[in-house]
Structure 1
């Protein structure tokens, strides 16, 4: 226990889980000593090669220790979490595990810089944790958070092997903001519940992305054939 947070452990490391999100699937799994979405983590570890991973929707860092240990020596994880409370928890998870190959930013991914409105709490004040999301209007539990384009947040000279998004319906904006990274490096795309293969084909038409399959609830797209 650290303040109102819980410290838990699984086979990959230690996790700082903020109070109020204990019943969310990722938190519940890790608190029981398990790994959340183990097949997704294993797939990313097996297919990142010598490149970097972009990981958005970091929550309390439930993927970070597992992914960090699977990277090549000079590779990095570029992690993004817009919810300030979840960001603080992920930062503590990084510290608990002494992860030196993770670059974490408190920001939402978008197709333009500036700010977005982000729902972090319900009207009753309870934290939403990993289901926090971008909204269109001010209201109870809504905060303004920094928005960044991946093309500006990740140096273009960094080889990106995997771009994984868990951004609660904001995938198109995030992908458009990574237009140059995607065109240069052709990373594997892992997108939670985003099944619009035709949109990806039209948007990145010269790359010939194809739907490969699913890992947990995540749709996987790649330019080259790959097994799941």
Structure 2
């Protein structure tokens, strides 16, 4: 029986692979699959290197091949830049409020210390927050624009382009868009921009009460929008939830709050759903199971986050093909680290 299951598993992987329409998707699939199986971060580096933003970074650095590079910012994003670009010669960190003198075996400078030793090396702005302010700060020091690599802006631009940048996604004037994981309302705004304002309805789901209130505030002018304070799941019920008020909120057994969950098949009623986006911190599989009738009978466009769990890369495509074998797939990646890989089904 064991060999039969292995053979079935291999055949399913082959079937998934054959459903990817372009070579870029196939390369991302292979690298994500190997990363899930081995934990080898070089596979993520391959995916990152395929983004336009990584190409821009390497183009700028190419003019200073023999020079070391500084990171401005000692936080989360700098650590991931070091991991994703291991071949760059990192020289040290700079931070406006340094909390340590060394990190990752490199010195950490405050701005005044940095200016004393700076001799024209490229500088990465390694934060997605306040990157514009830091950019102006560097220019005020007399550092040339050609020496500044605003990785923060590149990261934000890359992240913000997800779900709607594929030219292969067909648009209809009667779109009914489901946004599972409304978070800050940005996806709704981007959908409206993508659709040219021509749509029938937007239904957004956000179980985190803090995030929901933010969405209500920033989307109050949006027409034909329904905001649901609940999570999508494979059944109707109540589940434990870890509420953080940010993008890390998720369904969790040890969660300190309780949320209502529902099935999209039931909530949608007689609506014809045309487009579903899901970024719900690992609950994608359960939510898709709760939408299986819509997926089988209506075949909506899908944009599904496929990185929260290591098994997502094979389980989610397999599940979708089981529900509707007519789907074909694209994969795209929207960060300079391991997160933000999206599966498109059309």
Per the normalisation by structure 1, the TM-score is 0.70
Give the 5 Å matches for 1:53-92.
Answer: 53-71=177-195, 73-92=198-217
Q: Are the aligned partners of 2:163 and 2:277 in contact in 1 as well (CA < 8 Å)?
A: no
Structure 2 unmatched ranges of 5 or more: 1-74, 78-127, 133-152, 335-339
Alpha-carbon distance between aligned partners in 1 of 2:189 and 2:76, rounded to the nearest angstrom: 19
1:29, distance to aligned residue in structure 2 (A): 6.4
Inter-CA distance 149–102: structure 2 relative to 1 (3 Å threshold) = same
Alpha-carbon distance between aligned partners in 2 of 1:145 and 1:66, rounded to the nearest angstrom: 27
Q: Are the aligned partners of 2:163 and 2:342 in contact in 1 as well (CA < 8 Å)?
A: no
Q: Are the aligned partners of 1:48 and 1:161 in contact in 2 as well (CA < 8 Å)?
A: no
Aligned to 1:199: 319
Q: Are the aligned partners of 1:40 and 1:215 in contact in 2 as well (CA < 8 Å)?
A: no
Alpha-carbon distance between aligned partners in 2 of 1:166 and 1:39, rounded to the nearest angstrom: 11
Q: Are the aligned partners of 2:240 and 2:252 in contact in 1 as well (CA < 8 Å)?
A: yes
Alpha-carbon distance between aligned partners in 2 of 1:148 and 1:133, rounded to the nearest angstrom: 15
2:270 is aligned with 1:132: no
Partner of residue 143 from structure 1, selected from 253, 257, 262:
257
Alpha-carbon distance between aligned partners in 2 of 1:77 and 1:215, rounded to the nearest angstrom: 25
Q: Give every structure 1 segment of 4 or more consecutive aligned residues whose post-TM-superposition deviation is greater than 3 Å.
A: 28-36, 41-48, 69-74
Query: What SS does structure 2 have at the residue aligned with 1:191?
Result: strand
Alpha-carbon distance between aligned partners in 2 of 1:41 and 1:211, rounded to the nearest angstrom: 15
1:212, distance to aligned residue in structure 2 (A): 1.9
Inter-CA distance 46–200: structure 2 relative to 1 (3 Å threshold) = closer
Q: Are the aligned partners of 1:209 and 1:221 in contact in 2 as well (CA < 8 Å)?
A: no
Partner of residue 173 from structure 1, selected from 275, 283, 286:
286
Partner of residue 170 from structure 2, selected from 34, 41, 47:
47
1:190, distance to aligned residue in structure 2 (A): 1.1
Inter-CA distance 92–43: structure 2 relative to 1 (3 Å threshold) = farther
Larger radius of gyration between Structure 1 and Structure 2: 2
Name the count of aligned residue pairs: 185
Aligned to 2:272: 159
1:155, distance to aligned residue in structure 2 (A): 2.6
Structure 1 unmatched ranges of 5 or more: 1-22, 122-126, 224-228
1:136, distance to aligned residue in structure 2 (A): 1.5
- Return the structure number with greater helix share: 2
Aligned to 1:5: none
Inter-CA distance 57–39: structure 2 relative to 1 (3 Å threshold) = closer
CA RMSD after TM alignment: 2.9
Per the normalisation by structure 2, the TM-score is 0.48
